[in-house]
């Protein structure tokens, strides 16, 4: 079951009603139990059995070993407890996701990968490390802990929220009786925006560009280039759509989650891109990979190596395959090249008398950054489709050798992707609406901008989003990050 499914909307209506009824009746102390029951119902309607025991084992191990570490005064025993916890969390992840990759296909678990295993593994691993370091207190209430780890809105695709932050909000909710109309309104608009991004945009883009990675031999060279650009937009609206829906659902329950995206395709550099894209993962990698490796504290050369290593880990986290490693490695190399050439580039622009705030220069930087990101996404797309690196390199070869400025070739390339003129107009209008709302809300958020408008305009925008989903939405497809 996905957050965009009609069946889920009915389930959430029940969750919403029960959650707030408990507060109204003064029984907020049982909200954690209601949330845990909702999580169980959510997974029972769409999860494989493998999800249950791996999630249960990770939850119980993290909770019990966290308490053991806090209670122990022996550093050796604390290290042993941490090692045992990491063995459980990472053991499941390796068994289900990486065993075949690391053994060249000789060993396979033979079971479906639990949905969301990468996300709850990072949450529980981060929690155990923080307890070991003494940064957070171990959670004593198993119910609050389990409800936080298995929170239905975030487990399948994030954002990767710190467990102590969720449990703290659940404890606050236990004392809260009043209904927060403003928070619920912000949540509803945020959810509608995410649903619009997923159903009206991402699913349409997916139907147009999926053939690029799965059957590249069936389309023209120009189709491949167009498809690569469309996939860049597809993965953004797919993942940002999920994140906004999760953020909106949390707000309707009075739970604030981390913002995962901040207009990443308006970034001026790759470093800027990663300060806007999948922020919860970026923060996790910074805190638990980059800084422990030494961060930027051990000289320039070590900093660059740490950056490269961190992005390779990011690539491997996304998928067990060479394509994902190449994708991560490319972003690591982009970061290294950007840091090494940054001072020289700034000197060149100064000598040319071009201000860094020059609109044309900013537009060029934005376009160049998007091109670099799109090039890397090609490997990600092929890897997600089950292809290998040779397929990606063949696509690159065909794009480079077959590049042409002929309008006829571009029209034919669009036609083979079934991107006909009327479809192109529709897509352009939807993109303008999505990016327009994003830009209008750049000083706060799109939902805050909408709610600050007069009542009539608010209603037009919200009902417009609903109409776009109902009238223009494509057949529901799984979110891309469900695979991770």
**pLDDT at site 50:** 56
CA–CA–CA angle 104, 109, 115 (5° rounding):
110
Q: Of 267, 254, 195, 202, nearest to 232 (Cα)? A: 202
278 annotated active-site = no
**pLDDT at site 172:** 92
Question: Which segments of 50-139 are extended strands (E)?
Answer: none
SS3 of residue 41 by DSSP? helix
* Catalytic site residue from 20, 278, 318, 381: 318
**pLDDT at site 177:** 83
Contact 136, 164 (CB under 8 A): yes
Which CA distances in Å does 149 have to 78, 163, 183, 363? 22, 7, 23, 42
Report the alpha-carbon distance of residue 462 to residue 314 in Å, rounded. 36
SS3 of residue 473 by DSSP? coil
Report the alpha-carbon distance of residue 418 to residue 232 in Å, rounded. 18
Spell out, as residue ranges, where the chain has pLDDT lower than 50. Answer: none
- Residue 68 CA, distance from chain mean position: 32
- CA dihedral for 233, 235, 240, 241, sign (positive or negative): positive
- CA dihedral for 311, 314, 318, 320, sign (positive or negative): positive
Report the alpha-carbon distance of residue 185 to residue 414 in Å, rounded. 40
Report the alpha-carbon distance of residue 404 to residue 399 in Å, rounded. 9
Q: What length is written for the chain?
A: 484
Contact 227, 201 (CB under 8 A): no
pTM value is 0.93
Which secondary structure element, helix H or strand E, spans residue 205, and what is its range?
helix 203-214
Spell out the domain ranges in the chain: 6-179, 184-483
Question: Which segments of 41-187 are extended strands (E)?
Answer: none
Tokens of residue 446, six digits: 């799109």
Contact 65, 176 (CB under 8 A): no
**pLDDT at site 107:** 56
Contact 337, 403 (CB under 8 A): no
Burial 269-282 (b: 16+ CB within 10 A, else e): bbebbbebbbbbbb
Tokens of residue 329, six digits: 């490695």
Contact 108, 100 (CB under 8 A): yes
Residue in this structure with the two tokens 């995410």, named with its chain if needed: 194
């Amino acid at each position: 079951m996905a957050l965009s499914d009609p069946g889920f909307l009915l389930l959430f209506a029940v969750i919403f009603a029960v959650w707030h009824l408990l507060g109204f009746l003064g029984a907020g102390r049982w909200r954690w139990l209601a949330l845990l029951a909702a999580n169980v119902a959510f997974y029972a309607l769409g999860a494989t059995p493998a999800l249950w025991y791996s999630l249960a084992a990770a939850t119980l191990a993290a909770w019990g070993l966290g308490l053991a570490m806090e209670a122990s005064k022996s550093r050796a025993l604390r290290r042993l407890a941490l090692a045992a916890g990491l063995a459980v969390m990472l053991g499941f992840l390796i068994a289900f996701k990486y065993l075949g990759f690391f053994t060249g296909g000789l060993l396979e678990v033979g079971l479906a990968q639990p949905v969301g295993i990468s996300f709850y593994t990072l949450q529980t691993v981060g929690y155990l490390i923080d307890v070991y370091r003494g940064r957070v207190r171990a959670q004593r209430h198993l119910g609050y802990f389990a409800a936080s780890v298995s929170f239905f809105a975030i487990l399948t695709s994030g954002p990767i929220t710190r467990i102590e932050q969720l449990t703290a909000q659940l404890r606050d909710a236990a004392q809260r009786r009043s209904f927060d109309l403003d928070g619920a309104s912000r949540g509803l608009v945020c959810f509608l925006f995410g649903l619009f991004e997923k159903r009206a945009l991402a699913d349409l883009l997916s139907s147009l560009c999926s053939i690029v990675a799965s059957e590249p031999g069936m389309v023209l060279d120009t189709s491949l280039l167009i498809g690569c650009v469309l996939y860049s937009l597809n993965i953004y609206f797919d993942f940002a759509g999920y994140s906004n829906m999760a953020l909106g659902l949390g707000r309707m329950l009075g739970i604030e989650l981390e913002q995962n995206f901040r207009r990443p395709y308006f970034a001026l550099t790759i470093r800027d891109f990663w300060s806007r894209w999948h922020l919860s993962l970026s923060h996790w990698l910074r805190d638990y990979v980059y800084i422990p490796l030494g961060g930027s504290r051990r000289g320039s050369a070590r900093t660059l190596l740490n950056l490269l290593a961190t992005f390779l880990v990011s690539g491997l986290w996304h998928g067990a395959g060479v394509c994902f490693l190449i994708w991560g490695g490319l972003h690591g190399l982009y970061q290294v090249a950007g840091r090494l050439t940054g001072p020289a580039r700034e000197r060149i622009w100064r000598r040319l008398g071009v201000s860094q705030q020059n609109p044309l220069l900013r537009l060029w930087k934005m376009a160049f950054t998007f091109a670099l990101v799109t090039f890397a996404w090609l490997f990600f797309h092929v890897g997600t489709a089950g292809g290998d690196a040779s397929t990606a390199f063949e696509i690159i070869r065909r794009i480079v050798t077959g590049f042409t400025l002929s309008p006829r070739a571009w029209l034919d390339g669009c036609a083979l992707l079934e991107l006909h003129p009327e479809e192109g107009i529709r897509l352009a209008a939807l993109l303008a609406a999505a990016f327009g709302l994003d830009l209008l809300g750049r000083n706060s958020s799109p939902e805050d901008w909408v709610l600050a408008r007069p009542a009539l305009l608010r209603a037009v925008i919200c009902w417009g989003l609903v109409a776009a989903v109902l009238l223009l939405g494509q057949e529901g497809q799984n979110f891309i990050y469900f695979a991770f």
